[in-house]
Structure 1
Amino acid sequence: MQAECSYLEKSNILFYVKLDLEGNYKYLSPNFCDHFGYKYEDYIGVHSFETICEEDHQLCLDIIQKCLKNPEKAFAVKLRKPAKDDKIFFTQWEFTLELDEDKKPMEYSCIGFDITKKVNRRSEIAQLNLQLEGSKQQYQALFDTSSLAIILHDLDGKLILANDTFCKLLKIEHQNFTDYNLYQFIENKNWKATKELLTALEKEGKNTAFEFELIDAEKNLIPVYINKLIFKDWTGKPLVWGVITDITERKKHINLLETQKELLEKSANIAKLGGWELNLKTLEATWTKEVYEIHDLPYNSIGLFNLDNSLNYFLPNDRQLIKDAIDLTIKEGKPYHLELKFISAKKVNKWVIISGEAMYHNDKIVGIKGIIQDITERKSFEETIISQNELLTEIYYSQSHLMRLPLANILGLVSLLEIETDKDEIEIIKRKLKLSATQLDEVIKELAIKKNS
């Protein structure tokens, strides 16, 4: 026992302490004092409770009772000891009640060591486990309730995990998803490409995203967008996470938008109607294809908007008119609608309608948007109609005035001819008839010439 005590007193690992029967310190080993920063002489005779957290005093009393009932038998206990900066040391002890030669209680022999790091580590592990469990529950909830279809499968397509959204998408029972293979939901013609993709993913270790088509249990094709990520489990086996978005509605909207866009483009092309926008801050202009065609310019050929250059396409007398209209829109937000003559880049004379209105952001005018329409054909029709109307008016005047006079003469002379019997008078009537007919013929010829011109 003497050799053992000597070893304990010199130990740099274990603490060795002796307490009298009241619990006061009788001896403190050097390692004990150094570890906790105690001065030997300051603690001799001091009750051990002074160096133990109050919450653990009852543990000490319990272990003392055990020692009293079983002398010379060691009993273990964990005690917390206060340190500086409100820190706590965690220690592990064995208490033994030593007896004298007469087998009477003499003192308590206490051997211990610091388990603070071990306790802290366990606490950290417990905290991490709690966090992991919390994260697991969160991810499980996200997995189960996600509106996206989520699956986990191996490189052969064997399903390992699948959420309810995936099962509903493919019209299969959730409890039976492990009976399926991913390739059962892929067209045969796409099997090879899918296997090549998974092989490439395994080699590169990268995630990828692509549009695809799956087949549900009722053999319906479903357009989807898939994100795939490959990783290795704890055994080194490669697995693939797949996040799948049903894009059926999006495809319908895209197709509808493309159809509407095509119809708008055709309508704009037929109507020779183009749209434009001008950003007043950057002076960047955006034109539709039809605007370039009206200007006889190559598509997307303009850079920064230049008002003077744009005005040059209009006749000199109209340039100030449209400039004033644009300035008024920029300053006061007043829209404009003008019908003007226009000369294209290829020097083709045209008629256009140009309209513009202010664009606002936070009640501030930030740009102008509008339309320009080539109405040259309409103007040509209008001019033709005006010309025909003028001709018809002239014909009406000629018919009502110029033609009626010789025609009335002819009718009157014919009536005289029917009742006249004198040969000389008849000859005079015939000459007058010929003159009136000639006059009528000249009026008709003049009208025909005007019509053809």
Structure 2
Amino acid sequence: MKNVEETKRLFNNSTLFYTISTDMDGKYSYINEHYAREFSYIDSNLVGKPYHITMHTDDINTCIEVSTKCFENPTKLFPATIRKHDGKGGYVYTQWEYKAMFDDKKKPAGIFCLGYNITKFVGEELQLQKANEKNEKNSNTIKNIIFQQSHLVRAPLSNIIGLTSILDKTLLDSNTSNICDMILESSNQLDQIIRSIVTDARS
């Protein structure tokens, strides 16, 4: 308990970290000034109140599971990510480390927690995830374009070029022959454009 009391004093005026402790009945036995300010809209004095009134109900089981691990492994710290009410109908994300507390007779006395707000980090992670999903979607689109241009478009175009080239122009009048030449030239130009598009898409 001595180390816990020293930690409480050290972080009591922190503007970044939350420090709290709960007793064996699951009620706040201590909160630092930063935690008190951040969640004062829930209650002006949280000490003596149930720990779960500040959090998302789905995260209560996480607290129970992590606290159980703490008492099973008294020398270790265990992490937990907890959503807290933001006072606006939403939640802030907080990251914590839990440690079991014992009294002078080595009996369980509660849980000490050190935490901080990670809402901005979580938001950036979600944005990054969306960006990666968008990039993956774009990548698949590009792959489809490459396939379509390489196989679905160029195949009939190659046939047009081939058929135009093998026409027996001796049987054609000069005007029709000239049209065939223009078809062949335009087909070759289109083929080069498609090749260029495929090359750029692959690079």
**Normalising to structure 1: TM-score of the pair?**
0.34
Instruction: Please point out which of 115, 118, 126 is paired with 1:115.
Output: 118
Aligned mates of 2:187, 2:41 — CA distance in 1: 76
Which residue is equivalent to 1:9? 12
User: Within 5 A, what are the aligned runs for 1:39-438?
Assistant: 41-145=44-148, 149=149, 163-165=150-152, 168=155, 169=157, 222-225=187-190, 241=200
Aligned mates of 1:36, 1:141 — CA distance in 2: 51
Native 8 Å contact 2:36 2:46 kept in 1: no
**Normalising to structure 2: TM-score of the pair?**
0.72
Query: Which amino acid counterpart does residue 140 of structure 1 have in structure 2?
Result: K
In the TM superposition, residue 92 of structure 1 has moved relative to its aligned partner by 0.6
Aligned length, in residue pairs: 172
Which residue is equivalent to 2:176? none
In the TM superposition, residue 75 of structure 1 has moved relative to its aligned partner by 1.0
Aligned mates of 1:62, 1:74 — CA distance in 2: 13
Q: Secondary structure at the match of 2:45?
A: helix
In the TM superposition, residue 57 of structure 1 has moved relative to its aligned partner by 1.1
In the TM superposition, residue 40 of structure 1 has moved relative to its aligned partner by 6.9
Deviation per residue, 1:417-448 (Å, 9 max, x gap): xxxxxxxxxxxxxxxxxxxxxxxxxxxxxxxx
In the TM superposition, residue 79 of structure 1 has moved relative to its aligned partner by 0.7
Deviation per residue, 1:277-324 (Å, 9 max, x gap): xxxxxxxxxxxxxxxxxxxxxxxxxxxxxxxxxxxxxxxxxxxxxxxx
Query: Which amino acid counterpart does residue 143 of structure 2 have in structure 1?
Result: Q
C-alpha change, 1:4 and 1:76, in structure 2 (3 Å) is: same
Deviation per residue, 1:327-371 (Å, 9 max, x gap): xxxxxxxxxxxxxxxxxxxxxxxxxxxxxxxxxxxxxxxxxxxxx
In the TM superposition, residue 112 of structure 1 has moved relative to its aligned partner by 0.4
Instruction: Please point out which of 11, 25, 30 is paired with 1:27.
Output: 30
Q: Secondary structure at the match of 1:61?
A: helix
Aligned mates of 2:76, 2:55 — CA distance in 1: 23
In the TM superposition, residue 223 of structure 1 has moved relative to its aligned partner by 3.1
Q: Which runs of 5+ in 1 are unaligned?
A: 150-162, 172-210, 215-220, 231-239, 243-453
The list of structure 1 runs, each at least 4 consecutive aligned residues, that deviate by more than 6 angstroms after superposition, is none
Which residue is equivalent to 2:165? none
CA RMSD of aligned residues (A): 3.0
Query: Which amino acid counterpart does residue 18 of structure 1 have in structure 2?
Result: S
Query: Which amino acid counterpart does residue 112 of structure 1 have in structure 2?
Result: G
Query: Which amino acid counterpart does residue 43 of structure 1 have in structure 2?
Result: L
Query: Which amino acid counterpart does residue 241 of structure 1 have in structure 2?
Result: D
In the TM superposition, residue 143 of structure 1 has moved relative to its aligned partner by 3.0
Native 8 Å contact 2:59 2:82 kept in 1: yes
Q: Report the structure, 1 or 2, having the larger helix content.
A: 2
Q: Secondary structure at the match of 1:21?
A: coil
Aligned mates of 2:112, 2:11 — CA distance in 1: 11
Deviation per residue, 1:213-237 (Å, 9 max, x gap): 78xxxxxx94324659x9xxxxxxx
Native 8 Å contact 1:26 1:44 kept in 2: yes
C-alpha change, 1:80 and 1:36, in structure 2 (3 Å) is: same
Aligned mates of 1:17, 1:74 — CA distance in 2: 14
C-alpha change, 1:58 and 1:3, in structure 2 (3 Å) is: closer
C-alpha change, 1:61 and 1:48, in structure 2 (3 Å) is: same
Q: Higher relative CO (CA 8 A, sep ≥ 6), structure 1 or 2?
A: 2
Aligned mates of 1:99, 1:222 — CA distance in 2: 84
Which residue is equivalent to 2:167? none
Aligned mates of 1:142, 1:88 — CA distance in 2: 42
Q: Which runs of 5+ in 2 are unaligned?
A: 160-181
Deviation per residue, 1:251-270 (Å, 9 max, x gap): xxxxxxxxxxxxxxxxxxxx
In the TM superposition, residue 140 of structure 1 has moved relative to its aligned partner by 2.3
In the TM superposition, residue 34 of structure 1 has moved relative to its aligned partner by 2.1
